[in-house]
Chains A and B, each alone.
Chain A
């Protein structure tokens, strides 16, 4: 208590006298700091404003970018044309019917009127949908002009049309597997259509350059005429041999271009429901099969190329080849020593087996890798199947069976691409569906065989058509050469005796090969009871039928008189 008065007095004195200056000082500092806090808040709110501006700009993009369905539905695609400029796929304008339920005055009336044009619409559901307050609703995508006119004349408020692009394929199923398909929003979902989306169209659309017409037509290596010939031959053969499926591929051996490729049953790209049907898958690229004796061409090539055998060597085919408890038989047994050409034209399993045993599994693996059999073949088509190959190290028995095309499953396109190297002078050219010149092809090509080996193979193929199992593939004047393959199908884990998958790998003209043709036919039945159903009896004539039709289109000059065959003209007249 005694201390208080002096303290109070001191305080009072300070307030009255000296404190004024000190106060002002502290006050000034404090007020300056208030300004600092104001500056801080200005910065913070500025950051919010900046962020909102960024979002606003982003949303403007978002609203007219590919993200919204409005845009994706209307987006246009480039035409797809074949190598000669024939249209394979194009956009046409269609109308889609939509409703704005909140603007509909009388949902009941609107429902009845709509149902009079579209009897298939569910009335109860439609009435319910139209009675809501929602802003937008698609009623039917892709209506016909007639339906559009009918709806238009009914004059229902709150019902309108949105013009959309619809993909149309004039050829229907002709090149279905190559072209693929688009979904209802005109986005590629399969085949080249998908390739177009993934390779450049999406980027173009994102950049806003694909909004309307003016996209360059997208040209393929495919020739529509060849494609049509292949497909009709396949369809005819399917009917003729009551087969389950068939594949046909034509490749340019100089450029690796796929000129035609068909796999039936196929789908009509205009009908999306067919695209998803599993039985209609693209067997040419997705299906992997044991290709059977067509593989003997590759085995012979590797034996000759590596020097394991010469064209003059002979192999013992007197008795079945016993290996690891299995006995390898010949289908057309000769029961004697066979020369290399004889092994080839008689399609000797024993002889081919002995050939590969002489070469060894390491060489076989090396060459199979070069032929592209051991890895998945990637082309522009998104659909592809990975080969099924035995695990390393390969046993002798699997090495021998692979020599004649069993125990290894590859896709037909993979076989065709490897086959190209057998006859074009020994270079492997990755197959493509886009146009490619010979110079461009040489840049991506890689040598797998010596040119001499390829020469031998050409002669062997030709010999097989002249004298061996491929006689039925012959087309007078066009020097066809080829190799049959009759593979027994695996049913319930065992090779079946009566279910086959036949193939024929051919090239023409064999003196200077230009095109390769591969045909595969699944489970053909004998044409007539009593005769067989081996490849020579169905796959070979299919190849003949295809080549007969496409060779003139492709500008391959026939020899009027083929010294190896009967005169072409005479034969033509005889028919």
Chain B
């Protein structure tokens, strides 16, 4: 297909990029498009839009996102860092802006409208935040004169404050979790890690006591009889109706009554129509992507690349786990989209940025590539 002797940028990219992860990503985007045909029309009809409203938008965003993944994967680590820095600054500015001009949806200010497009700045903040935090941690351990860890803590505080202000506790938790993973990987002492773990448990307890809707949801999860568990009950019913092999495409009925069936509860819709086996396959795609990404991190010698790759993979892993866990009622109800699959322009593009950065960073770097050319030496190096 593409000769190894070919030295064009495309060929170079093709031989250095992790083609397994790229393939998994594209398969997930394609699956999301197919599954949106199952999940979206019911929602669109319910809220009085043309039945293909969400499908068409998804069909516009998904290829665009796939292209973005490929485009970003051409970047070098240094370019990724710069792009992330720009993206972080822009999205942080917009997150401040959103607090003042954002439209309030379901009690939160998360959206900003730009020329007919609605954007969720916090979605774009996530990958940029991870890359920059990874860089700060890496610099912090490589160069004692740079107060990397301090800056990383500072950045976390700013981002968390902005997210809580929206409020978007799901994203806050996710951000904290990923930051925690980076902190853990940055090679700090186990005592510090344990201390941070204690602080996060305390933070969780604080959220439980401070935010009434958080405590309500957790109470409901622990004691289903205490309140309205309509969403998760309906989701579980979807799994029961679907069984192993599903009721068949278009045969699902739960999606007609399940709120957010095209975003947060798309997994349950898949279960009903396509069956639990397909759900497991979907889960395996995510697991494969995440573990493959983490294996790439494991191989990296550069601390920045290792941390950034691991952080980005962790983010995809955590987000997919939380979403599927909520659908399966093993976690308290929490609004979280399923990366690559759920409808939502910002979510789809944000996942693309995450994956694009991940692929870019995990490409076999130039110096490695050069040493690989003599075949005998390749074994020794990788």
Which residues A32-54 have CB closer than 8 A to chain B?
A: 33-38, 41-42, 44-45, 47-49, 51-53
Is there an interface contact between A49 and B280, defined as CB atoms closer than 8 Å?
yes
CB–CB A30/B328 < 8 A: no
> Does A7 count as interface, using CB distance less than 8 angstroms?
yes
Chain A 501-560 residues near chain B, CB threshold 8 A: none
Partner of B244, one of A37, A41, A56: A56
Given contacts A11-B143, A26-B187, 5 further A-B contacts (CB under 8 A): A30-B303, A33-B187, A34-B185, A59-B243, A63-B243
CA A135 to CA B252, docked complex, whole Å: 11
Asked if A490 is at the interface of the complex by the 8 Å CB criterion, the answer is: no
Would B324 and A59 count as touching, CB distance under 8 A?
no
Q: How far is the CA of A265 from the CA of B347 in the complex (A)?
A: 70
Count of residues in A whose CB is under 8 Å from the partner chain: 31
Contacts A48-B324, A49-B280, A59-B276 given: A41-B143 contact, CB under 8 Å?
A: no
> Is A55's beta carbon under 8 Å from chain B?
yes
Given contacts A34-B298, A37-B294, A48-B283, contact A59 B303 (CB under 8 A): no
CB pair B242–A34 under 8 Å, yes or no, is no
Interfacial chain A residues near B290, Cβ < 8 Å: 41
Of the A-B pairs whose beta carbons lie under 8 Å apart in the complex, a sample of 30, sorted by A's number, is: A11-B143, A30-B186, A30-B187, A30-B303, A33-B187, A34-B185, A34-B306, A37-B185, A37-B294, A37-B314, A41-B294, A41-B314, A41-B321, A42-B291, A44-B317, A44-B325, A45-B283, A48-B328, A48-B330, A49-B280, A49-B283, A51-B328, A51-B330, A52-B276, A52-B279, A59-B240, A59-B241, A59-B243, A59-B244, A62-B243
Interface status of B228 (Cβ within 8 A of chain A):
no
B310 at the interface (CB under 8 A from A): yes
How many pairs of residues, A versus B, come closer than 8 Å at their CB atoms?
Answer: 98
Residue of B nearest to A52 (CB): B276
Q: A29-B187, A60-B243 are in contact. Are A55 and B310 (CB under 8 A)?
A: no
Chain B 262-284 near chain A by CB (<8 Å), digits 1 or 0 = 00000000010000110110010
Closest CB of chain B to A513's CB: distance in Å? 54
Report the separation of the CA atoms of residues A56 and B328 in the bound assembly, to the nearest whole angstrom: 11
CB-CB nearest in chain A for B275: A56
Q: Which of B291, B317, B328 contacts A52 (CB 8 A)?
A: B328
Closest A residue to B324 by CB, please name it: A48
The 6 tightest CB contacts between A and B, nearest first, are: A59-B243, A55-B239, A59-B240, A56-B276, A45-B287, A34-B298
Contact with B294, one of A34, A45, A51, A62 (Cβ below 8 angstroms)? A34
Q: Which residues of A contact B240 (CB under 8 A)?
A: 55, 58-59, 62
Residues of A within 8 A of B303 (CB): 26-27, 30
A55 adjacent to B294 (CB under 8 Å): no
Q: Which residues of B contact A41 (CB under 8 A)?
A: 287, 290-291, 294, 314, 317, 321
Residues of B in contact with A (beta carbons under 8 Å apart): 141, 143, 145, 181, 184-187, 236, 239-244, 251, 271, 276-277, 279-280, 283, 286-287, 290-291, 294-295, 297-298, 301, 303, 306-307, 310, 314, 317, 321, 324-325, 328, 330
Among A11, A34, A55, the residue within 8 A (CB) of B297 is A34
Residues in chain A near residue B271, CB distance under 8 A = 55
**Is A31 an interface position by the 8 A CB rule?**
yes
B163 CB to nearest chain A CB (Å): 23
Contact flag A31-B298 (CB < 8 Å), given A47-B330, A56-B243, A59-B240: yes
B contact residues around A55 at 8 Å (CB): 236, 239-240, 271, 276, 328
Chain B: minimal CB distance from A515 (Å): 52
Closest residue of A by beta carbon distance from B314: A37
Q: In angstroms, how far is the closest chain A Cβ from the Cβ of B364? A: 17
Across the interface, A135 reaches (CB within 8 A) one of B251, B277, B283, B324, namely B251
Do residues A26 and B286 form an inter-chain contact, with CB atoms below 8 A? no
- How far is B271's CA from A343's CA once the two chains are assembled, in angstroms? 80
- The answer for the CA separation of A26 and B189 in the assembled complex, in Å, is 11
The residues of A that contact B145 with a CB separation of less than 8 Å are 7, 11
A38 touches B294 (CB 8 A): yes
Q: How far is the CA of A296 from the CA of B378 in the complex (A)?
A: 111
Q: Chain B residues near A45 (CB, 8 Å)?
A: 283, 286-287, 321
Q: Shortest beta-carbon distance, B338 to chain A, in Å?
A: 12
Let me know if A30 and B185 touch, CB within 8 A. Answer: yes
B184 partner residues in chain A, CB cutoff 8 A = 33, 36-37
Q: Per-residue 0/1 for A13-39: is the Cβ within 8 Å of any B Cβ (1 yes, 0 no)? A: 000000000000011011101111110
Q: Mark A396-436, 1 if CB is under 8 A from B, else 0.
A: 00000000000000000000000000000000000000000
A33 to B187, CA, bound (A): 8
Nearest A residue to B299, CB-CB: A31
In the bound complex, CA of A59 to CA of B291 (Å): 30
Given the complex of chains A and B, what is the CA–CA distance between A45 and B324 in angstroms?
9
Residue among A37, A42, A63 making CB contact with B181, cutoff 8 Å: A37
Residues from chain B with Cβ under 8 Å of A33 in the complex: 184-185, 187
Report A-chain residues with C-beta under 8 Å of the C-beta of B314: 37, 41
Which residue among A51, A62, A135 has the maximum number of chain B CB atoms within 10 Å of its CB?
A51
> Which of A7, A42, A55, A60 counts the most chain B CB atoms within 10 A?
A55
Residues of A within 8 A of B239 (CB): 52, 55-56, 59
Whether the pair A38, B295 counts as a contact (CB closer than 8 A) is yes
- Rounded to whole angstroms, the CA-CA distance of A428 and B231 in the bound complex is 55
Q: How far is the CB of B72 from chain A (nearest CB, A)?
A: 23
B321 proximity list for chain A (CB < 8 A): 41, 44-45, 48
In whole Å, how far is B61's beta carbon from the nearest beta carbon of chain A?
Answer: 26
What is the distance, in angstroms, from A45's C-beta to the closest C-beta of chain B?
A: 4
Measured between C-beta atoms, what is the minimum distance from B291 to chain A in Å?
Answer: 6
Could you say which of B184, B240, B325 has the most chain A C-beta atoms within 10 Å of its C-beta?
B240
Tell which of B286, B310, B325 touches A34, judged by Cβ atoms closer than 8 Å: B310
Q: How far does the alpha carbon of A135 sit from the alpha carbon of B241 in the complex, in Å?
A: 15
Contacting pair A60 B328 (CB below 8 A): no
Residue of A nearest to B321 (CB): A44
Are B301 and A27 touching (Cβ within 8 A)?
A: yes
Give the distance in Å from the alpha carbon of A246 to the alpha carbon of B353 in the complex: 84
CB contacts (< 8 Å) of B295 on chain A: these are 38
- Complex Cα distance A140/B53, Å? 39
Cβ distance B65 to chain A, nearest Cβ, rounded Å = 23
Cα-based distance from A63 to B239 in the complex (angstroms): 11
A62-B239 Cα distance, complex, nearest whole Å:
11
- Contacting pair B306 A52 (CB below 8 A): no
Which residues of the partner chain B approach A31 to less than 8 Å between Cβ atoms? Answer: 298, 306
For A38, the chain B residues whose CB sits under 8 A away are 291, 294-295, 298
Docked pose: A135 CA to B286 CA in angstroms: 34
B244 partner residues in chain A, CB cutoff 8 A: 56, 59-60
CB closest residue in chain A, given B286? A45
